[in-house]
Chain A
Amino acid sequence: MFEYAPAPESRDVVDIKPSYGLFVNGEFVDGGGTAFKTISPASEETLAEIATATSEDVDRAVQAARKAFGVWSALPGAERAKYLFRIARIIQERARELAVLESLDNGKPIRESRDVDLPLVAAHFFYYAGWADKLEYAGFGTKPLGVAGQVIPWNFPLLMLAWKIAPALACGNTVVLKPAETTPLTALAFAEICQQADLPPGVVNIVTGAGETGAAVVAHPGVDKVAFTGSTEVGRIIARTVAGTTKKLTLELGGKAANIVFEDAALDQAVEGIVNGIFFNQGHVCCAGSRLLVQESVQEEVLDALKRRLGTLRLGDPLDKNTDIGAINSAEQLAKIRSLSEIGEAEGAERWSPACPIPDKGFWFPPTIFTGVAQSHRIAREEIFGPVLSVLTFRTPAEAVEKANNSPYGLSAGVWTEKGSRILWMADRLRAGVVWANTFNRFDPASPFGGYKESGYGREGGLLGLEAYLDV
Chain B
Amino acid sequence: MTTSLADVASSDITLRAFLHGLPGVDRVGADQRAAMLGTRSIKTTAKAQAIDLAISMVDLTTLEGADTPGKVRAMCAKANHPDPGDPTVPKVAAVCVYPDLVAVAVDALGGSGVKVASVATAFPSGRSSLEVKVSDTALAVAAGADEIDMVIDRGAFLSGDYLKVFEEIVAIKAACGTAHLKVILETGELATYDNVRRASWLAMIAGADFIKTSTGKVAPAATLPVTLIMLEAVRDFRDRTGRQVGVKPAGGIRTTKDAIKNLVLVNETAGADWLSPDWFRLGASSLLNDLLMQRQKLATGRYAGPDYFTLD
Give chain A's interface residues, CB within 8 Å of chain B: 1-7, 111, 115, 264-269, 272-273, 312, 321-322, 418, 438-439
Contacts and interface: CB of A to CB of B under 8 A. Distances in A.
Interface stretch (B47-55, B142-150, B154-162, B178-186): B47-55
Interface stretch (B10-18, B25-33, B119-127, B213-221): B25-33
Contact of A439 (B24, B25, B28, B267): B28
A322 B44 CA distance: 14
Given A7-B43, A111-B39, A438-B29, A2 B23 contact: no
Interface of B: 23-26, 28-30, 32-33, 39-47, 49-50, 53, 229, 232, 263-264, 267-268, 272, 275
B44 A266 contact: no
A5 B43 CA distance: 6
Contacts of A265: 23-24
Nearest to A3: B46
29 contacts: A2-B46, A2-B263, A2-B264, A2-B272, A2-B275, A3-B49, A4-B41, A5-B42, A5-B43, A5-B47, A6-B43, A111-B39, A115-B39, A264-B23, A264-B24, A265-B23, A265-B24, A266-B23, A266-B25, A266-B29, A269-B26, A269-B28, A269-B30, A272-B32, A321-B41, A418-B24, A438-B28, A439-B28, A439-B29
B23 A267 contact: yes
Contact of A266 (B24, B43, B268): B24
Nearest to A320: B41
B42 A7 contact: yes
A7 B46 CA distance: 10
Give the dominant DSSP class at B's interface.
helix
A112 to B, nearest CB: 11
A1 B272 CA distance: 6
A197 to B, nearest CB: 30
B299 to A, nearest CB: 15
B87 to A, nearest CB: 24
Contacts of A268: 23, 25, 29-30, 33, 229, 232
Contacts of B24: 264-266, 418
Contacts of A6: 43
A1 B40 CA distance: 16
A439 B30 CA distance: 11
Contact of A7 (B41, B263, B268): B41
Contact of B49 (A2, A264, A267, A321): A2
A273 B46 CA distance: 29
A268 B25 CA distance: 7
A439 B195 CA distance: 21
B39 A321 contact: yes
A269 B32 CA distance: 9
A319 to B, nearest CB: 11
Nearest to B50: A2
Given A2-B53, A268-B229, 6 more contacts: A2-B263, A2-B264, A2-B267, A2-B275, A5-B44, A273-B29
